[in-house]
Structure 1
Amino acid sequence: MQPLDYTFYQQPTIELAKSLLGKILVKETSGGVASGIIVETEAYMGPEDRAAHSFGNKRTKRTEVMFGPPGYVYTYVMHTHCLVNVVSGEVDHPEAVLIRAVEPYEGTHLMYQRRGEKKKETELTNGPGKLTKALGIVKEDYGLPFFKSPIYIAESEEEVLPDISSGPRIGIENSGEAKEYPWRFWLTGNKFVSK
């Protein structure tokens, strides 16, 4: 599998959030390669979006990568779980797309090792903290490019136009009107979409 070219990430954030659906998120580790088809994303629209870490142009050590060019890894830890985002938007306009769920594609044995042997397959990667653990994505991947290994996004071998649903984002109760924005996107009917 070949990483998508850098130019793929140079599209508006909402479009990128939809375009990522059906693509393959790949992580190479010393233990092997694990990957999953992206089935759910959420767009975060930067300074004007109360749910975004960069709301109000808040620039911190954690959000610094968001102020750079698109196509880079933004990881952070929330409630002990590492979450992974694709930096989007132009330089100095900090936007990102959260990858919320993937469907296991390769390296399922590694996912079971990391997540627990007794899990149902649908529970391995059906949430943003679950998928990072299953794929071996860690906070230290922060700032890496998504267009070369060890962490990258590749084209799916099946070229199908996905059936995409949208609705409000999840887990952002304290963000005023932003919690209602329909900026969560998922592959309609896919059983790996988060609960």
Structure 2
Amino acid sequence: MMTTMAAFFSARSTGNITRELLGKLLRYESPQGLVSGYIVEAEAYLGVADSAAHVYKGRRTKANDALYGAPGNVYIYTSRGYYAFDVATQAQGEPQGILIRGVEPKDGLDIMQANRPKTGSELTNGPGKLMQAFGVTDLRWNNVMITDSPFKIDLQDQRVPAQILTSARIGVSKRGGQTNSPYRYYVAGNPYVSGMRKREMNLATHGWLAQ
């Protein structure tokens, strides 16, 4: 399993990995039970040359050290009082990563709604929202390989996006040349994409191809 996961998160560009991550199932064996959701939105962060990345210009601290780990290492951090979930990509020492921004719930909806009393897309349509819904309230699993954690990305259980769109990343520091680069990838029409306008939502298929 570790070899398969490491191979998924390496050997090609982080942008391509981010695109391929859409539709994969993010699972978390929480203390309350299994919760999961299909990934509908994610952002690529391209390391020391990326002006919006936590490791810009080689910055390395206790807080961001997980990004320097092996491909598939979990990077959990706090932002605006919420927790966010990243996975490191590329070879160890090359601190690139992917922020999971939104999921469409599959398992454990009752658990997620107990953790975050919202309905519809407001439950998990943002990085802090989905971690709150999953019940992640600390940094316990930060800097741990995903294969050694209660998190899993199921490479078999997946949906296929009908269309993938890109945009500038959301909420990043306004600095340098990468601020507005199109490193945010999302499933077109899926209501669980953060900031998706109602007129852009495809409520019939949620943007997936028929299975």
TM-score (norm 1): 0.92
Q: Which moved more, 1:177-186 or 1:146-155?
A: 146-155
Q: Give the whole-Å Cα distance in 2 for the aligned partners of 1:158 and 1:97.
A: 18
Shift of 1:67: 1.2
Q: Give the whole-Å Cα distance in 1 for the aligned partners of 2:141 and 2:148.
A: 12
1 or 2 for the larger relative contact order (CA 8 Å, sep ≥6)? Answer: 1
Contact 2:22 2:161 survives alignment (8 Å): no
Aligned residue pair count: 192
Deviations 1:31-56 (CA, angstroms, capped at 9, x unpaired): 10100100000000110001000000
1:88 aligns with 2:86: no
List aligned pairs for 1:95-106, cutoff 5 A: 95-106=96-107
Contact 2:141 2:149 survives alignment (8 Å): no
Contact 1:145 1:151 survives alignment (8 Å): no
Aligned match of 1:34: 35
Contact 1:69 1:91 survives alignment (8 Å): yes
Amino acid at match of 2:18: A
Amino acid at match of 1:73: V
Deviations 1:159-184 (CA, angstroms, capped at 9, x unpaired): 63552100100111422321110000
Amino acid at match of 1:172: V
Contact 1:166 1:184 survives alignment (8 Å): yes
Aligned with 2:140: secondary structure? Answer: helix
* Structure 2: runs of 5+ lacking an equivalent: 196-211
Q: Give the whole-Å Cα distance in 1 for the aligned partners of 2:112 and 2:124.
A: 8
* Structure 1: runs of 5+ lacking an equivalent: none
Contact 1:29 1:136 survives alignment (8 Å): yes
Amino acid at match of 2:121: T
Aligned match of 1:59: 60
Shift of 1:143: 1.5
